[in-house]
């Protein structure tokens, strides 16, 4: 499928994930850009509207960056074009702090 505008968004030039603005299909090629930063990936899985996908390989334990800030850590090696969600990312919001500081964090 050819690139279409507004299918995905890069929210900060330092991000290593982009967000789907439509339901996206595995095999679809997308480009995103912001402030002179460009990324092009071919999706390896279907990505639902509002979900994240990796713009580059993210090693296990590395920070997942969205909004220019870490939002979690990769639980396994994530390949460019992979869906990034709770199966492969431990969110700072929903679990990472609990792992580090306990359930009351």
Establish how many alpha carbons lie within 13 A of residue 60's alpha carbon, considering only the half-sphere containing its beta carbon: 4
Identify the CA nearest to 73 among candidates 84, 82, 46, 81: 84
Question: What would the pLDDT profile of 62-105 be if each residue is shown by its tens digit?
Answer: 999 999 999 999 999 999 999 999 899 998 765 555 555 554 44
Ordered by where they begin, the domains of the chain are: 8-101 (2.30.130.110)
Q: pLDDT above 90 covers what percent of the chain?
A: 77
Three-state SS string over 36-56 comes to CEEEEEECCCCECCCCEEECC
Q: Which two structure tokens, joined as six digits, stand for 85?
A: 């969600």
More confident residue, 23 or 96: 23
């Amino acid at each position: 499928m050819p690139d279409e505008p507004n299918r995905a968004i890069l929210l900060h030039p330092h991000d290593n994930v982009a967000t789907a603005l439509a339901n996206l299909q595995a095999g679809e090629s997308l480009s995103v850009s912001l402030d002179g930063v460009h990324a092009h990936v071919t999706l390896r899985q279907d990505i639902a509207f509002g979900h994240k996908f990796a713009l580059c390989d993210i090693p296990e334990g590395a920070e997942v960056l969205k909004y220019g800030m870490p939002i979690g850590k990769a639980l396994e090696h994530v390949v460019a074009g992979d869906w990034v969600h709770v199966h492969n990312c431990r969110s700072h919001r929903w679990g990472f702090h609990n792992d580090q500081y306990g359930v009351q964090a």
